[in-house]
């Protein structure tokens, strides 16, 4: 999915992070270390953008990429009056 900076400032390494979609619009962040997969944080689809904004990714992850992966947001529907 993406590469992010890990470690303290001036001593950072690049680490790979994957995003896995689970049933019922649940998402989990995964990292592979020495051939083992570790799951770090599981979140709801509505909170996914906030979680991704807190990670210093090298390349920007946009909403179109998330939509292709099956992400959706259960937001409030606002009806505007017709003119």
- End-to-end C-alpha distance for the chain, whole angstroms: 44
What distances in angstroms separate CA 38 from CA 17, 31, 41, 73, one per listed residue? Answer: 10, 5, 10, 26
Structural domain of residue 48, as residue ranges? 2-68
Put the strands of the sheet holding 13-22 in their side by side order.
2-6, 13-22, 26-33, 36-44
Can you give the pLDDT at residue 28? 92
Number of domains in the chain: 1
Can you give the pLDDT at residue 74? 75
Can you give the pLDDT at residue 5? 67
Residue 6 has pLDDT above 80, yes or no: no
Can you give the pLDDT at residue 79? 61
Q: What does the pLDDT look like over 18-75, one tens digit per residue?
A: 888 988 889 998 888 888 888 888 999 888 888 888 887 777 777 888 888 888 877 6
pTM as predicted: 0.67
Q: Which residue has the tokens 């993406």?
A: 2
- Consecutive H or E run containing 53: helix 48-53
């Amino acid at each position: 999915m993406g590469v992010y900076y890990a470690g303290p400032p001036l001593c950072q390494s690049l680490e790979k992070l994957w995003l896995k979609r689970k049933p019922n619009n649940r998402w989990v962040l995964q990292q592979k270390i020495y051939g083992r997969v570790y799951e770090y944080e599981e979140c709801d689809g509505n909170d996914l953008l906030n979680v991704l904004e807190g990670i210093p990714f090298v390349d920007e992850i946009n909403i179109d990429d998330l939509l292709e992966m099956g992400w959706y947001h259960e937001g409030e529907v606002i009806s505007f009056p017709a003119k």
